Amino acid sequence: MPMLEVSDLTVRYGALEAIRKVNFSVEEGEIVALIGSNGAGKSTTLRAIVGLVNATQGVTRFGGRDITALNAAARVRNGISLSPEGRRLFGRMSVLDNLLTGAYSVSSRSTIKTMLDEIYDLFPRVRERRHQLAGSLSGGEQQMVAIGRALMAHPRLLMLDEPSLGIAPKVVAEIAQAIERLNKEKGLSIILVEQNARLALRLSHNAYALEHGEVVRSGRGAELLADPFVQKAYLGV
């Protein structure tokens, strides 16, 4: 049974159908990439999974349980966490306080300490900057904090929305290594939404390409890298 199963997921914003009958799944310990052009429905799909927007139609199951009717807070408590596009940190709060906002659903102080230590190990610069205001950090450092904040919820499924957006190539490589570490060393399941399709497909076990709110291609990450349609549409080949 998949960890996450999305069936016929449809979301409308008024008359606009943002995604239409989207179907995909995530297995335990798997990285799944969602690729597509701007406006394809990638971010809406993540927001629907975590409960930030309401589905017009469809069913979302997590750990075999139907969570379609649950609100966002309940979905986070069940183990789903989102690092949103644009990072959305509290710029006038310290890095540490930003991280701790991600742990609002975690009651165990020992778990919070363990998660902080793991984040500091994953991103040493976050430890170095932990007492600075988040707004004073570079874009890449802020992205590390945003990922750390999502990890503070102690998720079983981590969803990353455009983690490489607007970041220097060197820092993108660091974040890619962190994603691989989280998956391989911690067994964390991850959904990765990326405009950088080549990076996303290289990191992923399975991938789905969205166009105009619908899945138009799916398969192993390596298979989509070699797919002529994907190469022409997203990879500039």
pLDDT in tens, 122-155: 999 999 999 999 999 999 999 999 999 999 999 9
User: Per the structure block, which two tokens stand in for 29?
Assistant: 């310990």
Residue 223 has pLDDT above 90, yes or no: yes
pLDDT in tens, 6-48: 999 999 998 899 999 999 999 999 999 999 988 899 999 999 9
Question: Which is nearest to 192 in space by CA: 234, 157, 144, 156?
Answer: 157
User: Predicted confidence band at 91 (pLDDT cuts at 50, 70, 90)?
Assistant: confident
Q: What does the pLDDT read at residue 203?
A: 97
Q: What does the pLDDT read at residue 107?
A: 82
Buried b or exposed e, range 199-213, using 16+ CB within 10 angstroms: bbbebbbbbbbbeeb
Residue 87 has pLDDT above 90, yes or no: no
- Between the alpha carbon of residue 190 and those of residues 16, 49, 164, 184, 206, the distances in Å are 28, 13, 15, 11, 11
In this prediction, residues 166-174 reach a mean pLDDT of 91
User: Per the structure block, which two tokens stand in for 195?
Assistant: 């405009």
pLDDT in tens, 188-216: 999 999 989 999 999 999 999 999 999 99
User: Whole-structure pTM over 0.85, yes or no?
Assistant: yes
Residue 73 has pLDDT above 90, yes or no: yes
Cα–Cα dist 73/218, whole Å:
30
Q: How far is CA 51 from the centre of its chain?
A: 14
Domain positions in the chain are 4-235
Residue 54 has pLDDT above 70, yes or no: yes
Cα–Cα dist 184/97, whole Å:
28
User: Per the structure block, which two tokens stand in for 212?
Assistant: 């105009």
Task: Provide the sign of the torsion angle of the four alpha carbons 154, 155, 161, 165, taken in this order.
Answer: positive
User: Per the structure block, which two tokens stand in for 52?
Assistant: 């930030």
Question: Which is nearest to 213 in space by CA: 4, 2, 13?
Answer: 13
Contact 121, 114 (CB under 8 A): no
User: Per the structure block, which two tokens stand in for 126?
Assistant: 């976050």
Q: What does the pLDDT read at residue 44?
A: 96
The average confidence (pLDDT) of the chain is 94
Residue 69's SS3 state is coil
Is the pLDDT higher at 38 or at 62? 62
Q: What does the pLDDT read at residue 88?
A: 86
User: Would you list the DSSP string of 102-118?
Assistant: TTTT---HHHHHHHHHH
Cα–Cα dist 151/117, whole Å:
11
Q: What does the pLDDT read at residue 237?
A: 62
Percent of the chain residues topping a pLDDT of 90: 86
Backbone angles phi, psi at 121, to 5 degrees: -70, -40
Q: In the CATH scheme, what architecture does the domain 4-235 have?
A: 3-Layer(aba) Sandwich (3.40)
